[in-house]
Amino acid sequence: MLELLVKYAHDHDLVVEPGFKTKDVRWAIVCDEKGNFLDVLELGDAAQKSNRGRTFSWCPEMDRGRLQAGGKSHFLVETAAVIALYGQGADAEKIHQKHRYFIDLLRAASDAMPELKLLSALLGHEEAMGAIRERLANQKAKPTDSMTFRIGDSFPVDLPTWHPWWRSFREALSAGEGEGPTVSRKTAVSGTMRCFVGGELAEPVLTHSKIEGLASVGGRPSGDALICFDKEAFQSYGLEQSANAAVSEEAASAYRAALNHLIRHRSRNLAGTKVVHWFKCQVPVEDDPLPWLEEGGDEEERSAQHLAEKLLTTIRNGERPDLAANHFYALTLSGAAGRVMVRDFMEGPFEDLASNIHTWFDDLAIVHREGGRPAPDPKFLAVLGATVRDLKDVPPPRATKLWRVAVRNESIPADVLAQALSRTKMDVLAGGALNHARMSLLKSYHIRQARQKGGNAVPSELTPYLNEKHPSPAYQCGRLMALLAGLQRAALGDVGAGVVQRYYAAAGTTPALVFGRLTRLSQFHLSKLDPGLAHWYESKIAGIWGHLRDALPATLSLEEQSLFALGYYQQLAEMRTKKPKEVAHEPTDSE
């Protein structure tokens, strides 16, 4: 995984040199060529509510170990609190130390870049500093917002003039020749070790810089470490900190740049987790099948299943050799106590990815609850939400597992089936509209179970629409429940708590105790109908009993209960489509 991330960083020309980093900067202190303060400028798109500012590709970065030692700051780009002493709060003394160190860095670099001396003088001018803070307050800047400088029309951080000085400065610090405490990168065993990523002999970096962008999924706003060893229990053989998983400074910088780029540009939140993905070779946005999992589709020509099928056809016909030879990679991440949690990592051929996503939507295909047409391809979040009352209640492990099920064509876990079935029963008893994604999930469970066992009986018999010849007694019992509810509605109209509200839960678990009585009661309802309508219901009910014969189950297992729910749902949809002309009132989801 780390090797692939390093390759991604190099392939996309990301900053991989240690001591440099791509950063988003929100504010700039604007000066004239003589260093006189002019204004504070908001960078990026100021009209955006979540404006991240302007991206600078080669920003200097101080080692994480030095920053943690206290009193140190980054160079040229820092927070508004450090540069302007704006909104210091309870850490005023620490901020003042960082502010003084920031000015010292500007002065030290002024031999290589003379204009930086003007900036150090500006930060020592009380009147100018007061004006800067006033402008920041007027624009409602935050003390933690990033800030840099603009002199005239140019940004010093964007110029390469200071790069040689910065490299020399970092080398002097590492050698213990610079000011302040040094952080040794030696291990207790040897100065060089085999790099965990590239395999070459290298001096391992003891503290890895943090991965950013996971604050919305349990991470810290300041970032989280992917490789860190801060407890004795995590260390062995006398090795210190990250020397327990030796990675060269160059490789650490590269994988970090790759992850930060992927999280920023190619990620999606997924119920407490964040998924990033990329390809061995670049893939056009319109040919990337993974977003289709999220988007679903409401129109046939834009349905996710149709797009995946079209893409597969071009690959298998030899029209897209670039895609046929490609590979995909996907990471599922979250934050936990300052660490990056890698919940899952997947890789495989591009063609398998497209095929699995096509299969995912094919397995989920279900008739619309109003009948006569298929339901729209469900979005992935809708499938996740089918197992809970509210999407925020989805536990991250379940989101991770279902994502893997879709991408790798795996079986749906039984606990997911149980949750979806429980929510379906609640919908039925509450009289609410039956959820398409829930019914799709029940159907998909059985198809994938049969596929895993190498069988094809269930996939051929469990179709999106009603199958009157389905061999499962549980499925036929579900059909019978829907017909008896429709019969009561046609005979008596709205009677409040009808057959479904009183008997659905029992019929779905112990049908033998319920259906004998309900069938006898149905004879009274038939007598109240017109002969044509009575004959229609009677023939349908008799047909189901013909399938059941003496096989009416005493109890239903979890899987059989889900087949009961599917039979009930598909029979309802069928009755809305192919009802006799004499039907005066069609049954609703609450019946």
Same domain? For 143 and 217 the reply is no
pLDDT at 228 over 90: no
Same domain? For 398 and 487 the reply is no
Count: domains in the chain: 4
pLDDT at 582: 41
Same domain? For 124 and 202 the reply is no
Q: Which among 251, 375, 182 has a CA at the least distance from the CA of 1?
A: 251
Same domain? For 155 and 241 the reply is no
pLDDT at 82 over 90: yes
Structure tokens at 60: 């200097």
pLDDT at 495: 63
Given the DSSP bridges, would you call strands 27-31 and 146-151 parallel, antiparallel or unpaired?
Answer: parallel
pLDDT in tens, 432-452: 789 999 999 999 999 999 888
Higher pLDDT, 454 or 109: 109
Same domain? For 397 and 256 the reply is no
Question: Contact 29/150 with Cβ under 8 angstroms?
Answer: yes
Provide long-range contacts, Cβ within 8 A and 24+ apart, for 523-526: 524/491, 525/487, 525/488, 525/490, 525/491, 525/492, 526/487, 526/491
Domain end, chosen from 465, 497, 529, is at 465
Question: Contact 192/202 with Cβ under 8 angstroms?
Answer: yes
Give the domain range for residue 398: 268-335+348-465
pLDDT in tens, 457-504: 556 788 999 999 999 999 999 999 999 988 888 888 776 557 888 889
Structure tokens at 388: 């809970």
Alpha carbons 23 and 54: distance in angstroms, whole number: 8
Alpha carbons 377 and 34: distance in angstroms, whole number: 62
pLDDT at 302: 52
CA angle 14, 18, 19 (to 5 degrees): 105
pLDDT at 137 over 60: yes
Domain assignment of residue 231, yes or no: yes
Domain end, chosen from 465, 493, 524, is at 465
pLDDT at 293: 84
CA 404 from centroid of its chain's CA atoms: 12
pLDDT in tens, 243-292: 888 898 889 999 999 999 999 888 988 888 999 999 999 999 889 988 88
pLDDT at 185 over 50: no
pLDDT at 83: 95
Radius of gyration of the chain (CA): 32
pLDDT at 524 over 50: yes
Structure tokens at 163: 């790069």
Other residues' Cβ atoms within 10 Å of the Cβ of residue 258: 25
Question: Contact 466/570 with Cβ under 8 angstroms?
Answer: yes
Question: Contact 149/28 with Cβ under 8 angstroms?
Answer: yes
pLDDT in tens, 156-181: 999 999 999 999 998 888 766 555 43
